[in-house]
Amino acid sequence: MKQFDIITETDARTIDIGATVELRAGGHVTPLAQDTLAARRVTVVRAGSHDPTLPADLAPVTDIKRVAIGSDHTGLAIKSALVSYLRGRGVAVVDLGTNSTDPVDYPDIAGAVARSVARRESDAGIAIDGAGIGSAIAANKVRGVRAALCLNETMARYSREHNGANVLTLGVTLINGPDAATRIVEMWMGTPMREARYIRRLLKIRRLEDAFSRE
């Protein structure tokens, strides 16, 4: 990870989009650089924030190479657009249906996407239905899955950087078509989760899962 004592506007423009850099103790970021870093989706972590004692499998996969995707009958157009977008980026896509306008139940589709991620058959998952809420509820019943409904790019960034979401759900009635969905997915996939303080909270979520399974 690249380290800095100070990050200026010039420095900020040279950092790769979506990268994470470390600011050494006592270092600072100039005001102009802060705006550029935000625009380039660069994450700045303070020195010493990395915690090697945390389980390595807590944070979601950063370099997403294989995505499981599924939608109910309402989301076919968006699913088709996202499949084309992902494959165009060289990402392997597991299309879990549906591929017909005949009505299907969202828990079946979201569950299949979630299981693919939980079994590590896919690095991440995308589930689509009318509002996205039901798919998130269903996917979160699968152990190890953290599904988040995202309606815009800000929610997408937060769901990954702060909450470690490994499944994204989308609601076709709540977003403005395939182009908006693509922008959300681009932000979601391009945002890493690196800060120990956020990853440490995922450990508490895992412990909640463990405690409930023993009750």
DSSP string computed for 26-89: EEEE-HHHHHHHHHTT-EEEETT---TTS-TTSSPPSS--EEEEEE-GGGHHHHHHHHHHHHHT
Which of 134-138, 139-143, 180-184, 204-208 is predicted least confidently?
204-208
Distance separating alpha carbons of residues 193 and 172, to the nearest angstrom: 26
The most distant pair of C-alpha atoms in the chain lies apart, rounded to whole Å, by 60
Helix spans in 119-149 (H) = 133-139
**Residues pairing with 71 in the sheet:** 128
Model confidence at 45, pLDDT cuts 50, 70, 90, reads: confident
More confident call, 213 vs 49: 213
Catalytic residues: 162
Q: Is the pTM of this model over 0.75?
A: yes
The pLDDT score that the predictor gives to residue 125 is 98
The pLDDT score that the predictor gives to residue 47 is 72
Q: Which helix (H) or strand (E) holds 92?
A: strand 92-95
More confident call, 22 vs 80: 80
Instruction: Locate CATH 3.40.1400.10 in the chain.
Output: 66-190
CB-count exposure of residue 63 (10 Å: 0-12, 13-18, 19+): exposed
The pLDDT score that the predictor gives to residue 69 is 98
Distance separating alpha carbons of residues 8 and 37, to the nearest angstrom: 10
How large is the average pLDDT for residues 113-119?
97
Q: What is residue 124's three-state secondary structure? A: strand
8 A C-beta contact, residue 104 and residue 98? yes
Distances (CA, A) of 79 to 20, 93, 94, 99, 207: 30, 11, 11, 9, 34
Does the domain at residues 66-190 carry the CATH identifier 3.40.50.300?
Answer: no
Q: What is the DSSP letter of 19?
A: -
